[in-house]
Structure 1
């Protein structure tokens, strides 16, 4: 037994999306045996664009029952039935959330008529309900009203069940292990099946072939599947647009992060937002005061002339400077860790040797500051190679850092020995050094196997 369902909503994302109308047709595989339609009071404003689409406004639903009042009827009609809808994950997700809000766990087996249509009626340009009904000559009345769309879906479902091999396909879709009910409506399962359980990056593409999202993963298949289980509004909208997925292997998490960052900067996909945000940077710099004393200080990057070292938050910047102050017996006052007019009295740093009380000479103190600066700059000197796992057992991946700047990554045969920069130049894929790549490299460098040429 099946229940073919359609809902109209207030259009505020899954968790804020309230049902304004619901239609349910109970179908035994041959004929309609019961039906139910009702407006629903969403207890929230209905946006003008939703009214323009559906014709449902606040006045129409003012005296309609609340969802909790019709919930028993929905539970009764859908009990022991397969939940069928066009783009089923949307209707099912909204109804499930409505039940959750009144303390009921709503669980039904699902079938999606978009996915069934793509399998049983292949080759159509569009599988939207309106265009699909036109293509297969199904009358569609009262478009964007729950009963009209639900009844058209019944006729479509009836046609699909009468298609050769429909029994086999439906049974396959209902198999809990098939993942058919979980996948986006426009994504062929064969495309998902090709995704490996390896590190890399993946591209979500819409029906026009445009890349709408780029992500990275240590396990590509597991991460991609995670998107389909995510019930946030953004994820549901993105997945509903996804019609194809491409991927590239990276061999390791570090290379995947760098590949992802480069592709986001190159493509600017609409559903990627994390690396579009502006991150405030801080830097340590030096200057000499009127008494000839060299100060170390920190400020936002734009306000730091000739920065010695850059950080991505103020806390890390200050903590690093505190360590330098301790390790080189510098004065907290002249490292701008303590704003005082008298001698320093920092609560943690007590290594000052007296520059702030004139018991240490300016020359001796400046020598210590210069040694500290030299030590900081040493981190950036030379060519450093980070070695990572390759995409298969026969290769290694590498990341090239030159004078502290990220230069790119590449893949090289495991048997080839790297002893000079020339050994890897033929294999490197040059990349831009950006704020994001710098953060990625600096975060993972201590955990990675690396060597200096």
Structure 2
């Protein structure tokens, strides 16, 4: 026995989504034996755009029963049924959440008429309920009202049951361990089957082949499947919009992270929240004034000809220069930590030897500034990170040039690369960003043996 269900909602995401109308048709495989339809008072405002879509407004539901009142009847109707809906996860999860909110458990086997249609009625350009019904000459009245959509879904479901090979397909979809039931409605199973169980990045694409999400994984196939099991509002919407999945192998986790970061910056996918913002880099630099005194300062990196070290916000620049001042007893005035016409008076840095008061020679002070510069430059060395490649015949390489991430690539295994020029032949140049800096610093701390010094 099947319960064919459709609901209308306030449209505020699964956990905030409240039912405004519900319709249930109990179907024995040949005919409808029972029907229940009711408006529902969501106890919240219905947005104007939802009213424009469904025709259901606040006045219509004002005197309708709240969900708690009709929940016992709904549970009685659905008991021991197979839950059927068009894009079933949406209807099922909204009802489950409503029941959960009043302390009632809910668990049924379910079938999706979108997925069943894709398997049993292949070749249509769209599997939305409206367009599919139009293509199959199924009457659909009161579109975007619960009873109208549910009644059309009954007729579609009956047609699916009568399709050749339907029994085998239905059994496959009802198998709790079948991955098929978890796949997005618009995603061909062949696209999922082609995914490797290896490290790399993957790209969710919509029907227009636009990248809408980029992810990374040690095991691409396993990680992608986890998206389909996740029932959060964001993941449900992502899966609903996914029509194909591409991937690139990385060979190891570090490159997967770097490739993911680059792809997000390049494509700005709709469903990636992190790493979209382009952070402006700032650089610490040195210059000599008319009196011959060396200054330390910072500015946007693009305005600095010879950066000593790069950061991604002004706070980190100031903290770094403050630490140099303390370590090498420099003057905060000549390190641009305070703007004053007279001697320095920094509240945290009190070890100035008097260059700003005429109590120290320029030569003595500049000597300590040069020591601070050399200390900084010693951290900006060039090196390679060598990691596992995509195959046994290659190594993955990450190049850090003078402390800045320069790119990644793949080279024949155990190839000698004594200079940066040798490395560049195998490299895909990349931008240094706050994310790549953080990823590389974490990796080098955890895996120091992967670092190989290299000559400039």
Q: Which moved more, 1:29-38 or 1:433-442?
A: 433-442
- Give the TM-score normalised by the residue count of structure 1: 0.88
Distance 2:297 2:430 in 1: 32
Pair 1:170 & 2:170 matched: yes
Distance 2:103 2:441 in 1: 47
Query: Mapping of 1:43-442 within 5 angstroms?
Result: 43-279=43-279, 281-286=281-286, 293-297=293-297, 307-313=307-313, 316-330=316-330, 335=335, 360-381=360-381, 383-434=382-433, 436-442=435-441
Aligned-partner SS, 1:94: helix
Check conservation: 2:395, 2:414, Cα contact below 8 A.
no
CA shift in 2, pair 1:356/1:72, >3 Å: farther
CA shift in 2, pair 1:303/1:443, >3 Å: farther
Check conservation: 1:87, 1:114, Cα contact below 8 A.
yes
Distance 1:346 1:362 in 2: 24
Distance 1:302 1:39 in 2: 61
Q: Cα deviations across residues 28-83 of structure 1 (Å, max 9, x unaligned)?
A: 22322222111111222222222222111111111111112211222221122221
Aligned-partner SS, 2:391: coil
- Give the TM-score normalised by the residue count of structure 2: 0.87
| Structure 1 position 359, deviation (Å) | 6.0
Distance 1:4 1:283 in 2: 63
Distance 1:280 1:105 in 2: 50
Aligned-partner SS, 1:126: coil
CA shift in 2, pair 1:176/1:299, >3 Å: same
Q: Which moved more, 1:409-418 or 1:434-443?
A: 434-443
CA shift in 2, pair 1:355/1:105, >3 Å: farther
Check conservation: 2:338, 2:344, Cα contact below 8 A.
no
Distance 1:209 1:23 in 2: 35
Distance 1:260 1:322 in 2: 34
Aligned-partner SS, 2:275: helix
| Structure 1 position 360, deviation (Å) | 4.8
Distance 1:422 1:148 in 2: 68
| Structure 1 position 402, deviation (Å) | 2.8
Distance 1:390 1:10 in 2: 50
Unaligned runs of at least 5 residues, structure 1: none
Could you tell me which residue of structure 2 aligns to residue 41 of structure 1?
Answer: 41
| Structure 1 position 432, deviation (Å) | 4.2
| Structure 1 position 145, deviation (Å) | 0.8
Q: Which moved more, 1:91-100 or 1:79-88?
A: 91-100
| Structure 1 position 197, deviation (Å) | 2.5
| Structure 1 position 271, deviation (Å) | 2.7
Q: Which moved more, 1:130-139 or 1:372-381?
A: 372-381
Q: Which moved more, 1:252-261 or 1:126-135?
A: 252-261
| Structure 1 position 422, deviation (Å) | 4.6
Distance 2:128 2:225 in 1: 23
Could you tell me which residue of structure 2 aligns to residue 27 of structure 1?
Answer: 27
Distance 1:427 1:281 in 2: 27
CA shift in 2, pair 1:104/1:365, >3 Å: farther
Distance 2:291 2:359 in 1: 15
Aligned-partner SS, 1:393: coil
Check conservation: 1:89, 1:182, Cα contact below 8 A.
no
Check conservation: 2:265, 2:278, Cα contact below 8 A.
no
Check conservation: 1:355, 1:361, Cα contact below 8 A.
yes
Distance 1:67 1:303 in 2: 62
CA shift in 2, pair 1:336/1:222, >3 Å: farther
Distance 1:145 1:366 in 2: 79
Check conservation: 1:344, 1:356, Cα contact below 8 A.
no
Check conservation: 2:331, 2:344, Cα contact below 8 A.
no
